[in-house]
Chains A and B, each alone.
Chain A
Amino acid sequence: MRLNTASEVISLSRRLEEEGAEVYEKLAQRRPDDAESLGAFARENRRFVTQVERAYYGVISDALEGGFAFDLEADDFEIGTDTAGAVAGGDAKAAVAMEERMIRFYEEAAEQSQSLMADLPRAFRLVVKKRRRRLESLSALS
């Protein structure tokens, strides 16, 4: 499904972050030695939601292109039951793939939301930056 409105993109971000957080919580149960860092990822996912929503609600304007700024294919970024299952089952490579997909989502969203004042693309890029740091930790798990 193609997403065009800011509201859709923010909702997708919220859903993906929550799904990702739940996956990390399950993975943490499988890997007690890494539970602390995996739990931190889950909490961070939820903080991303807060940060992105704060940026969106702070700058959304009737005068900017909120309804027309985006053209994203939601299916390209879905975590999917296979990936979620693999990550929850302990497959760290699947976790890396999930994170890379999320990074692509936020990169594209940042690029396309340039017209919505600086705050929203900046919030998206901040999530990308923090996610890139995760990749190293996740690679180390495998």
Chain B
Amino acid sequence: MAVLSEPIKEKMTLKNFIDGEWVDSKSNRMQDIVNPAKQQTIGQVPMSTKDDVDAAVAAAKEAFPDWRRTTPLARVRCLFRLKELLEENFERLSRIQSMEHGKTIDESRGETRRGIEMVEVATGIPSLMQGYNLEDIASGIDEYVIYQPKGVFCHIAPFNFPFMVPLWFIPFALATGNTFVNKPSPRDPISQYALAELVEEAGVPPGVYNVVQGGADAAKALMTHPDVEGVTFVGTSSVGREIYRTCGEQGKRAIVQGAAKNFMVVMPDADVDATIRALMTSFYGNTGQRCLSGANLVIVGKEEAFYKSFRDRFVEAASRIRMGYGLDESIQMGPMQAVDGKERVLGYIEKGLEEGADLILDGRKPEIQGDFPDTCFVGPSVFENVSPDMTIAREEIFGPVASVLRAADLDAAIDMVNASDYGNGNAIFTSSGKAAREYQYRVESGNVGINIGIVAPMAFFPFSGMKSSFFGVLHGQGRDAVRFFTESKVVIQRWFS
């Protein structure tokens, strides 16, 4: 089958986008952007300094008053133009993601589509942002609430969904009248670079949207900047906890989405064929580098025959997954995004073996379709005889490793899920409405799947999370995002003449 053409032909040198201008960073420090499948450097990104961040925040702060006064309709017209430009560039944006991240082309297109959906939903701001009122709270006195933008917000982006995740926030922030500074992951910032070009082309005024490239230094400068009203972050829980604490100390709003350890609970009455397909996407989609990925497969029931047959079907399906370069259309799983990710996964596999689990599908020597170095590749792996206290059952591996656990019944399965430190995207597979309802009711998880392996909320619903998977009150996407990016101003009025 066809290997699709690459949109990045020459090595790129990225710049910052500040106040409507593409400018060099003040830093001389550059980091390579590497296509993980080919191990080819496709660009360089500057590791911006505090001065770069200061310039971006200053531009955003200066642009805020005018942008706030721009009518909501005029603001969303920019988003309508952006949506059209995103559609026109759909395939290019998707292929860039496969090059910079390694994901398959179907996954990249799915990511692009999800990103566009955020823009589409945010175009509803003239309705979504409306406040509410009540006449005669006392005789002749009315009360109403107005949602007002707050100022400069920022995003510190993860590497696993380089295009989509920043869009959980950017369109909502801009549509509500705020200005924004985005810091993409330095590992795969090219699709965000392309997005910024389209934002500029869509006619968003200078300073309203800014991009600062870089790593931890730029992130720290952004989140501690006194003129930044709020921070959005998606990444690890350890960093997220620190960001949330810092934001709390400084009185900033924060949406902090952290790590996960998701349980896929399979009941004996599950539709096996459909469940297996859903679980392949769940455990091995995006090479397991997703906060909604399945990690622990809990097969419920005491019956040995069902356990063995389901386990065998799962392993058989996983063993057939084709690995290679994401721009090859036949590929079902790409490489890890970087070498350190692969090393982390291999470390967890070693740990699982040390702690006594059985590795029944070993992805350490993956078969790769095409002539590509195995530097970042690790194949689908499955551990059996895993107990909930083992490291591989508790910690986020963030790679294509499934741990198979057993639970005697639904109660035991729910207890297992709820004992986790995390609560992000847990699912049940069953044909029983009663079991599904019970699971939904009791499980401590921000997003719950019923016969859905990747519980990714649509743009008009909040992307939830619980326990160590989320720090904050309001979430990204949908009405939560509108509330996060606005302040409630309550007016009580009485007229004497």
Interface residues of A (CB under 8 A from B): 1, 3-8, 11, 57-69, 115
Q: A62 touching B1 by the CB < 8 A rule?
A: no
Q: How far is the CB of B315 from chain A (nearest CB, A)?
A: 15
Q: B281 touching A60 by the CB < 8 A rule?
A: no
Q: B330 touching A62 by the CB < 8 A rule?
A: no
Which B residues lie within 8 Å of A67 (CB)?
104, 106-107, 280-281, 285, 332-333
Q: B106 touching A5 by the CB < 8 A rule?
A: yes
Most buried by A among B109, B292, B333, B455: B109
Q: B332 touching A62 by the CB < 8 A rule?
A: no
Which A residues lie within 8 Å of B277 (CB)?
65, 68-69, 115
* 27 A-B contact pairs sorted by A residue (CB < 8 Å): A1-B330, A3-B1, A5-B330, A7-B105, A7-B106, A7-B109, A7-B329, A57-B90, A58-B113, A59-B113, A60-B106, A60-B110, A61-B114, A62-B107, A62-B114, A62-B456, A63-B452, A63-B454, A63-B455, A63-B456, A64-B110, A64-B454, A65-B281, A65-B453, A67-B281, A68-B317, A68-B332
Select from chain B the residue with minimum beta-carbon distance to A69.
B277
Q: A62 touching B286 by the CB < 8 A rule?
A: yes
CA distance A67 to B334 in the complex (A): 11
CA distance A68 to B453 in the complex (A): 12
Q: How far is the CB of B424 from chain A (nearest CB, A)?
A: 13
Of A4, A11, A58, A62, the contact of B2 (CB 8 Å cutoff) = A11
Q: How far is the CB of A134 from chain B (nearest CB, A)?
A: 28
Select from chain A the residue with minimum beta-carbon distance to B110.
A62
CA distance A11 to B317 in the complex (A): 24
Select from chain B the residue with minimum beta-carbon distance to A112.
B277
Which A residues lie within 8 Å of B110 (CB)?
60-64, 66
Q: How far is the CB of A120 from chain B (nearest CB, A)?
A: 12
| Chain B interfacial residues counted at CB < 8 A | 34
Q: A6 touching B106 by the CB < 8 A rule?
A: yes
Which A residues lie within 8 Å of B456 (CB)?
61-63
Q: Which residues of chain B from 310 to 354 have a CB within 8 Å of any chain A CB?
A: 317, 322, 329-333
Select from chain A the residue with minimum beta-carbon distance to B105.
A7
Of A5, A7, A60, A65, the contact of B113 (CB 8 Å cutoff) = A60
CA distance A26 to B298 in the complex (A): 58
Q: B280 touching A11 by the CB < 8 A rule?
A: no
Q: B332 touching A5 by the CB < 8 A rule?
A: yes
In the complex, whether B278 has a CB less than 8 A from a CB of chain A is yes
Given contacts A11-B2, A60-B109, A60-B110, contact A5 B281 (CB under 8 A): no
Given contacts A4-B322, A5-B332, contact A68 B281 (CB under 8 A): yes
Q: A66 touching B107 by the CB < 8 A rule?
A: yes
Which B residues lie within 8 Å of A60 (CB)?
106, 109-110, 113
CA distance A64 to B455 in the complex (A): 9
CA distance A5 to B2 in the complex (A): 12
CA distance A115 to B161 in the complex (A): 23
Which B residues lie within 8 Å of A58 (CB)?
113
Of B1, B105, B106, B113, the contact of A1 (CB 8 Å cutoff) = B1
Interface residues of B (CB under 8 A from A): 1-2, 90, 104-107, 109-111, 113-114, 161, 164, 274, 277-278, 280-281, 285-286, 292, 317, 322, 329-333, 452-456
Which B residues lie within 8 Å of A5 (CB)?
104-106, 329-332
Select from chain A the residue with minimum beta-carbon distance to B286.
A62
Which A residues lie within 8 Å of B107 (CB)?
62, 66-67
CA distance A6 to B1 in the complex (A): 12
Q: How far is the CB of B458 from chain A (nearest CB, A)?
A: 9
CA distance A92 to B160 in the complex (A): 53
Select from chain A the residue with minimum beta-carbon distance to B107.
A62
Which A residues lie within 8 Å of B114 (CB)?
61-63
Most buried by A among B104, B106, B274, B455: B106
Q: B281 touching A57 by the CB < 8 A rule?
A: no
Q: Given known contacts A7-B329, A66-B110, what 18 new A-B pairs fall within 8 Å (CB)?
A: A4-B330, A5-B104, A5-B330, A8-B329, A11-B2, A57-B109, A60-B110, A61-B113, A62-B456, A63-B452, A64-B110, A64-B454, A65-B278, A66-B281, A67-B106, A67-B281, A68-B281, A115-B278
Most buried by B among A11, A60, A63: A63
Q: B1 touching A8 by the CB < 8 A rule?
A: yes
Q: A11 touching B1 by the CB < 8 A rule?
A: yes
CA distance A69 to B280 in the complex (A): 10
Which A residues lie within 8 Å of B331 (CB)?
5
Q: A62 touching B329 by the CB < 8 A rule?
A: no
CA distance A73 to B330 in the complex (A): 13
Which A residues lie within 8 Å of B332 (CB)?
4-5, 67-68
Select from chain A the residue with minimum beta-carbon distance to B332.
A67
CA distance A1 to B329 in the complex (A): 13
Which B residues lie within 8 Å of A1 (CB)?
1, 330
Which A residues lie within 8 Å of B329 (CB)?
5, 7-8, 11
CA distance A66 to B455 in the complex (A): 15
CA distance A62 to B455 in the complex (A): 11
Of B104, B280, B330, the contact of A65 (CB 8 Å cutoff) = B280
CA distance A58 to B120 in the complex (A): 13
Of B1, B292, B333, the contact of A63 (CB 8 Å cutoff) = B292
Select from chain A the residue with minimum beta-carbon distance to B449.
A63
Q: A66 touching B322 by the CB < 8 A rule?
A: no
Q: How far is the CB of A100 from chain B (nearest CB, A)?
A: 24
Which A residues lie within 8 Å of B454 (CB)?
62-64
Which B residues lie within 8 Å of A63 (CB)?
110, 114, 281, 292, 452, 454-456
Select from chain B the residue with minimum beta-carbon distance to A62.
B110
Q: A57 touching B1 by the CB < 8 A rule?
A: no
Select from chain A the residue with minimum beta-carbon distance to B161.
A62
Given contacts A7-B105, A61-B110, A62-B454, contact A68 B330 (CB under 8 A): no
Which A residues lie within 8 Å of B280 (CB)?
65, 67-68
- 5 closest Cβ pairs, A-B complex: A62-B110, A63-B454, A66-B106, A63-B456, A7-B329
